[in-house]
Amino acid sequence: MFYRESGDFKTSYAADQQTFPIRFDRWAIGLVCAFAFLVMPFLINDYWEKSVLLPFLVWAMAALGLNILTGYCGQVSLGTGGFMAVGAYASYKLTTSFPELNLFIVILLSGGVTATVGILFGLPSLRIKGFYLAVATLAAQFFLVWLFNKVPWFYNYSASGMITAPERTMLGIAISGPNSPPWATYLFCLVIVVFFAVIAKNLTRGRIGRSWMAIRDMDIAAEIIGVAPLKAKLSAFAISSFYIGVSGAMFFMVYLGAAEPTEAFGIDKSFLVLFMIIIGGLGSIFGSFVGAAFMTLMPVLFKNIMVGGLGWPTDLVSHIIFMLIGGLIMFFLIVEPHGLAQLWRVTKEKLRLWPFPH
């Protein structure tokens, strides 16, 4: 009744091919974006910025990247943490070598550097598949973290091997460093994430995205109908690594401000992002966001309810959260093996028929 297509006529090819064909969807997304851009900056405080919104945006970006590679192109990767480290260290080296460079450009260039590294580590995907490829990308994860620990050039020879984001401003407002206002860092990340989410959505609807999906569904058949596996797989690795690199750069420059490779970009980060896209939904842009929200916001929410609200001991709570999140993951995957995005898709179908299901 509220969610319907009747009366939503398309009179041109452009209208028929638009990103969101249902008017209600367009309205809903428009409202969410308007709220995120116009209202949220006025409500935000330090806690919201550092504990809720920035982690969500950063991880959503990483999940988008991995979803392109794993969800759309079918190449399993366990190197996400390592690629995020490449993005972070690239942004650190760039911004300390060229302090006057605009932070937007620094972050995009870091994405570019990561894309190059991603292509390099994507080369084995032309020969190996599935679990074997996962192991090859696992090697990337360990190699990259080892590299950033081992070579002092990457951390500018600091005594502890720690990298610290210097203050960088844009239009006179600090974006990185301790003096940055919460709304500025939030808007900075939001602009990047929304922009690249739209790009990703359109990439996956276009020729290149269809070639990824063809490779994912059956690579030999795809090859026969004329999809070049080399181009499809390597472009997926490049674009996915670009996204992950940008997310790593934001993670370090804007969100944390200091990082060391072993802890910030360890193997657990690779698994975290993989879980996000599995929970959210493989091969879904919306799923990347939902998965990132689930994995980053749930623990914070539970912690606030149990410690802040109920006053339980902190160690007990952290154990309960561990079990609760694990239980929820199992519950959602049993109820809907294709992730939360599929749950939403099913709901959407039901809503379109409601209140007169055939």
Closer to another protein by Cβ: residue 7 or 178:
178
Closer to another protein by Cβ: residue 139 or 343:
343
Dihedral of CA 110/192/300/321: which sign? negative
Closest approach, Cβ 312 to another protein, in A, equals: 11
Cα(46)–Cα(50) distance, integer angstroms: 6
Closer to another protein by Cβ: residue 54 or 239:
54
Maximum separation of any 2 CA atoms in the chain, in Å: 70
Q: CB under 8 Å to 353, separation ≥6 — which residues? A: none
Q: How many helices (H) and strands (E) does the chain have?
A: 17, 4
Over its C-alpha atoms, the chain yields an Rg (Å, rounded) of: 21
Closer to another protein by Cβ: residue 212 or 289:
289
Cα(280)–Cα(339) distance, integer angstroms: 5
Closest approach, Cβ 315 to another protein, in A, equals: 3
- Would strands 173-176 and 258-259 be described as parallel, antiparallel, or unpaired? unpaired
Binding site for another protein (CB under 8 A): 28, 32, 46-52, 55, 149, 158-162, 164, 166-167, 177-179, 256-260, 262-264, 266, 290, 293, 297-298, 300-301, 303-305, 307-309, 313-315, 317-319, 322, 340, 343-344, 347
Closest approach, Cβ 64 to another protein, in A, equals: 17
Closest approach, Cβ 181 to another protein, in A, equals: 11
Closer to another protein by Cβ: residue 109 or 321:
321
Closest approach, Cβ 188 to another protein, in A, equals: 18
